[in-house]
Amino acid sequence: MIGRQTAVHADLVQASIAKSDAAHSALVASWRRSLQLHHLDPAERKAPRRLTEGELRGARQRMERMIRAAETSLNRLYQAVGGVGCCVMLADRDGIPVERRGAVADDETFDEWGLWTGTVWSED
């Protein structure tokens, strides 16, 4: 099933890029950059890059004041839009999620997808 989903996703990415939808969509523009600049294959399933525990701890320490200041807002936002199927995260300037709110039922799946603290989201 996952192989089929990956193939469908890859086809969607390729079709969107071919239609020049990047001019109208930030998501398609990101897909195009990922393909052209970073040679990422949308059909390839590979685990997201993650920080070590020590690196994540350092990233969280650098953001400690922001995390404390945002905590109430993150909780409120998750309560407003949260539930199964979504999460709320706070990332640092390098695209590293350092704080997360989400449903326990989604934890395993979201961790696998890279929607987790310590996952590197940067396009660099």
Segments of the chain scoring below 50 in pLDDT: 1
Predicted confidence at residue 11, as pLDDT, reads 82
Predicted confidence at residue 2, as pLDDT, reads 55
CA 123 to chain centre: 11
Predicted confidence at residue 73, as pLDDT, reads 97
CB pairs under 8 A, 24+ apart, for 46-50?
A: 47/114, 48/113, 48/114, 48/119, 48/120, 49/119, 49/120, 50/114, 50/116, 50/118, 50/119, 50/120
